[in-house]
Structure 1
């Protein structure tokens, strides 16, 4: 769904012989597929309008106990994949933190419905994915692309998304109806995120003069900022919102 890429921005295959390779930070916008990207964006926007867009007069964001619980369950099921990616990146600290978070929320938090790891133990989720793993391995960003349902991405992150789906440890543990239930919970979690951050997402999609250009800019800014912060331990991270004259 389109909200996946945008929520990541509103909130964030090729091994080159080991981890820790510094990839030069890209700049500008490389969008050679703009025509087809805009067609996919129109499809995604139409899907969002039918499934998620708030009716006139209704709140765009729905952040209550139910949506938070659904979001928590989906996010919890995504933690094992984040642990694997942190290990592949040679970053043991976030791997350990996400492991403890998963264990706490899966048990005390009743399968992730609640978030005692964050609320009581100060263990927020450490976000990462295989697109970031590729960046750590030295794979360049590539061109901007928009994926059906998933929304804004790049060629590197599109490969990362596909690998994350295939190597998701949850899919290896569960079988049959349990696997279907786990997958359904993760999809429902993404849908809940879309409603929780509905105001920000809908302001981009429906209030912008050019929602495609706005979504593209926001995604690239936030993705590059996140990756720069990870590579430089946040010390010299490029802030897309800073004053260029300072």
Structure 2
């Protein structure tokens, strides 16, 4: 009992600390320069990090090579991606509640329950066959709903493109993840590992699209920034420059 009490107290303090750090990060978000097309005051540093990320992608994933081989057979990779996404569903449900969106919160909760059981830990997706489709969100979107500014565009080592607001959201999501709060080591370590593996395998799944942006563009940094921000604004429903990233730009 004393041990559990100490753990709970530590978690509460950790949540409070992260909330404070997040508030400070958001309050310090860089304002866009008047007339600037993008809020990218750190472009020089961002381009340097982007170049390092591209070099790492070439080394680890064979980026840009036509003869690169998949890490895992496609059915296995898809199954692991599904499991990783299922493990993120409780966080989606929590953020939906924080955004005062009760229907997506309920949908995500039911999806997690169904896919974790009937879907064998999330390998399969029977919830979608029942009409319960994923309602993905994150704390970056929660901050947007709460009125926090987007801040400057950033490129992080390994993680890639983000914004100051979404970086703060990523930090908070890592700490308030319900599964992370309810599990102890080694289970919590396994969960984190599966989520990271899912992100790596998405590089395989969407490899052609990623390669076209990074290796087939005259200015891969500018193209990556444009696509990331437009896709993010589409997710958030921001109307200024929203495009549907899944729409065929050449369709008549």
TM-score (ref. length: structure 2): 0.78
Secondary structure of 2:198 counterpart: helix
Partner of 2:48: 39
- Asked if the contact 1:79–1:102 (Cα under 8 Å) also holds between the matched residues in 2, the reply is yes
1:198 equivalent to 2:201? Answer: no
Are residues 1:65 and 2:65 paired?
A: no
Aligned to 1:239: 242
Report deviation, 1:38: 1.0
Secondary structure of the 1:142 match is: coil
1:101 aligns with 2:111: yes
Specify every segment of 5 or more residues in structure 1 that has no aligned partner in the other structure, as ranges: 1-12, 16-25, 230-235
Match of residue 91 from structure 2: 81
**Gap runs ≥5 in structure 2:** 1-21, 25-34
Deviation at 1:62, TM superposition (A): 7.7
Please tell me whether the aligned partners of residues 14 and 134 of structure 1 are also in contact (alpha carbons under 8 angstroms): no
CA apart distance, 1:28 = 2.8
Q: 1: distance between equivalents of 2:89 and 2:148?
A: 23
> What is the aligned counterpart of 1:149 among 158, 165, 168?
158
Correspondence for 2:229? 220
User: CA contact under 8 A between 1:130 and 1:164: conserved in structure 2?
Assistant: yes
Count of residues in Structure 1 that have an aligned counterpart in Structure 2: 214
Q: Name the larger-Rg structure.
A: 2
- How many Å separate the matches in 2 of 1:199 and 1:172? 36
Instruction: Say if 1:99 and 1:152 are closer, same or farther in 2 by CA, change over 3 A.
Output: same
Tell me how far apart the structure 1 counterparts of residues 73 and 115 of structure 2 sit (CA, whole Å): 20
CA distance in 2, matches of 1:224, 1:100: 27
Aligned-partner Cα distance in 2 for 1:109–1:237: 39
Instruction: Give CA deviations for 1:159-215 in whole Å, capped at 9, x if unaligned.
Output: 111111111112112211111111111111111111111110111111111111111
Aligned equivalent of 1:52, options 53, 56, 61: 61
Once the two structures are overlaid, the 10-residue window that deviates more, 47-56 or 126-135, is 47-56
